[in-house]
C-alpha cells in the first residue's frame, strides 16, 4: 500500500504532491468553515496516532500479508480532518521508519486520503436512514471502512501498473501487484467490520463524535 521511493517517475511524484496539496487545501477550507475548527484537533490527533501504528499490524493472507490502514475509519470519525491526519501520519512513517517515502509522500497521501474523504461521504448516507438507526449506522460504516481500503488498494495498483519503468515491467512484477491487490479483499471485510463496530460504539456512548 505504501509506495516507496525510487519506484515512480518524477512527474508522477510531482503530480501526487499537487493532488495532495489540493486535497489538503480543500479539507482545511472545509474545516475553517466550522463553528469551532479547533474542537476536532484532539480527536484528529488521537486517530492520527492510530493510523501511524496501524501499518505495523499485519494480517497474513497467503502467499503474502497485508497491514491495516484504517483510512475509512478516519473518514467516518474525522470527516474533513481525515486527509491532514493521514498526510501527517504518512510523513512520520516515512521519516521515522522508512515506510513509504518522501518523494512519494504526495502520491501515498492521495491514494489513502482521498478514499478517506469519500468514505466520509458514504457514511453520511446514514442521514437518509436516520442518524439514530443502528442498522443504518452499522451498514454505512461498514461500507465506508471497506471502501476506504478498497479504493486505496485499487489506486495504488493502477499507479504502479501504468507507471512501471520498462526495465522492471515484466509479467512477474505485474502478477505480483495484482496478487497483492487481491489480498486486500479480506482486509476490506476486516476494516469494514471494525469501522462498523467503532461507529456503533460511538453512537451509543457519544454520538456527537460521529457528526464529522
10-residue averages of pLDDT along the chain (212 residues): 88 96 97 90 93 84 82 96 96 91 96 97 88 87 96 94 72 83 92 96 89 62
4 occurs within a structural domain: no
135 occurs within a structural domain: yes
173 occurs within a structural domain: yes
In the prediction, which pLDDT does 28 show? Answer: 96
Which residue, 25, 28, 8, is CA-closest to 16?
8
In the prediction, which pLDDT does 111 show? Answer: 97
In the prediction, which pLDDT does 61 show? Answer: 76
Q: Are 4 and 101 in contact (CB under 8 A)?
A: yes
Q: Are 49 and 172 in contact (CB under 8 A)?
A: no
Q: Going by DSSP bridges, is the β-strand pair 58-61/64-67 parallel, antiparallel, or unpaired?
A: antiparallel
Cell representation of residue 2: 505504501
Which residue, 135, 150, 154, is CA-closest to 196?
135
Computed from CA positions of residues 130, 134, 135, 141, in that sequence, does the dihedral angle turn out positive or negative? positive
Mark 12-24 as b/e (b = at least 16 C-beta within 10 Å): bbebbbebbeebb
In the prediction, which pLDDT does 97 show? Answer: 87
What span, in angstroms and rounded, lies between the C-alpha atoms of 36 and 59?
38
Cell representation of residue 89: 501520519
What's 57's domain CATH number? 1.10.1760.20
Domain coverage including residue 36 = 10-210
In the prediction, which pLDDT does 127 show? Answer: 85
Per-residue pLDDT reduced to its tens digit, 69-115: 999 999 999 999 999 999 999 999 999 988 889 999 999 999 999 99
What span, in angstroms and rounded, lies between the C-alpha atoms of 26 and 200?
28
What span, in angstroms and rounded, lies between the C-alpha atoms of 95 and 90?
9
189 occurs within a structural domain: yes
5 occurs within a structural domain: no
3-class DSSP state of 131: coil
Q: How far apart are the first and last CA of the chain?
A: 26
Using alpha carbons, list the distances in angstroms from residue 126 to 30, 74, 113. Answer: 21, 17, 21
1 occurs within a structural domain: no
120 occurs within a structural domain: yes
In the prediction, which pLDDT does 19 show? Answer: 97
CB atoms within 10 A of CB 166: 6
2 occurs within a structural domain: no
In the prediction, which pLDDT does 212 show? Answer: 55
Eight-class DSSP state of 98: -
What span, in angstroms and rounded, lies between the C-alpha atoms of 179 and 161?
12
**pTM score:** 0.92
Domain count across the chain: 1
In the prediction, which pLDDT does 54 show? Answer: 87
Amino acid at each position: 500500500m505504501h509506495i516507496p521511493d525510487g519506484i515512480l517517475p518524477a512527474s508522477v511524484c510531482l503530480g501526487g504532491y499537487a493532488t495532495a496539496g489540493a486535497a489538503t487545501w480543500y479539507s482545511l477550507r472545509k474545516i475553517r468553515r466550522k463553528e469551532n475548527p479547533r474542537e476536532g484537533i484532539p480527536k484528529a490527533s488521537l486517530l492520527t496516532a492510530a493510523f501511524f501504528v496501524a501499518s505495523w499490524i499485519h494480517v497474513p493472507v497467503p502467499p503474502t500479508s497485508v497491514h491495516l490502514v484504517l483510512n475509512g475509519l478516519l473518514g467516518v470519525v474525522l470527516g474533513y480532518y481525515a486527509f491532514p491526519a493521514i498526510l501527517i501520519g504518512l510523513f512520520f512513517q516515512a521519516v521515522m521508519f522508512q515506510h513509504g517515502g518522501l518523494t512519494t509522500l504526495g502520491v501515498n497521501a492521495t491514494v489513502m486520503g482521498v478514499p478517506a474523504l469519500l468514505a466520509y461521504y458514504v457514511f453520511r448516507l446514514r442521514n437518509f436512514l436516520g442518524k439514530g438507526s443502528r442498522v443504518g449506522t452499522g451498514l454505512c460504516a461498514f461500507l465506508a471502512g471497506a471502501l476506504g481500503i478498497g479504493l486505496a488498494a485499487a489506486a495504488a495498483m493502477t499507479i504502479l501498473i501504468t507507471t512501471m519503468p520498462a526495465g522492471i515491467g515484466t509479467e512477474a512484477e505485474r502478477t505480483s501487484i495484482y496478487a497483492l491487490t487481491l489480498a486486500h479483499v479480506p482486509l476490506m471485510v476486516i476494516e469494514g467490520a471494525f469501522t462498523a463496530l467503532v461507529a456503533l460504539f460511538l453512537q451509543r456512548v457519544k454520538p456527537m463524535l460521529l457528526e464529522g
